[in-house]
Amino acid sequence: MRKGFDGLFGLVRNRLSADPMSGHVFLFCNAQHNRLKLLFWDGSGLWVCAKRLERGCFRWPEPAGGQVKVVLSHEELTLLLGGIDLAGSRRRQWYRMAAGEESE
C-alpha cells in the first residue's frame, strides 16, 4: 500500500482498464486486508483517502471468474467499510432506476 496518486491512477487505467477520471470510486486493499485506499476524481482533482484498521481486517469480496475487479453498489461499499462480510449477506430483489430512465 505504498502507492499514491500516480500509482493508483496507473493501476486503474492499466490493470482495471477503467478511466480514473470517470467519477467512480476505486478502492484498493493491501495483502493483509487491514488497510485500504480510495481514489476518486471530483472534477477538479484526485482524492486519495486511506484507512488502517487497528485490529481485524476487511472482508474483501472475491472477484468472479478470473476478473481482476469487483464492482460494488454504494450500499455494498458502506457495508464493507462498516465491517460486514458481503459473502455472508444476500441481496433482496429491489427496484433501482437505470441511468437515463425517467420516472412518470
Residue 75 — very low, low, confident or very high, per pLDDT cuts 50/70/90? confident
pTM of the prediction? 0.80
Tally the domains of the chain.
Answer: 1
CA distance 46 to 5: 7
Instruction: Tell me, yes or no, whether 16 lies in a domain.
Output: yes
Q: How many residues does the chain have?
A: 104
Instruction: Tell me, yes or no, whether 10 lies in a domain.
Output: yes
Instruction: Tell me, yes or no, whether 94 lies in a domain.
Output: no
Instruction: Tell me, yes or no, whether 67 lies in a domain.
Output: yes
User: For 6-27, what is each residue's pLDDT tens digit?
Assistant: 999 999 999 999 999 999 999 9
pLDDT of 37 strictly over 70: yes
Residues near 12 by Cβ (< 8 Å), separated by ≥ 6? 18, 19, 20, 26, 39
Reported as type and span, the H/E element at residue 29 is: strand 25-29
Q: For position 23, what pLDDT does the model report?
A: 95
Structural domain for 19, as ranges: 5-87
Instruction: Tell me, yes or no, whether 26 lies in a domain.
Output: yes
Instruction: Tell me, yes or no, whether 9 lies in a domain.
Output: yes
Give the strand pairing for 25-29 and 35-41. antiparallel
C-alpha cell recorded at residue 45? 482533482
- The number of helices, as runs of H, and strands, as runs of E, in the chain is 2, 3
Instruction: Tell me, yes or no, whether 23 lies in a domain.
Output: yes
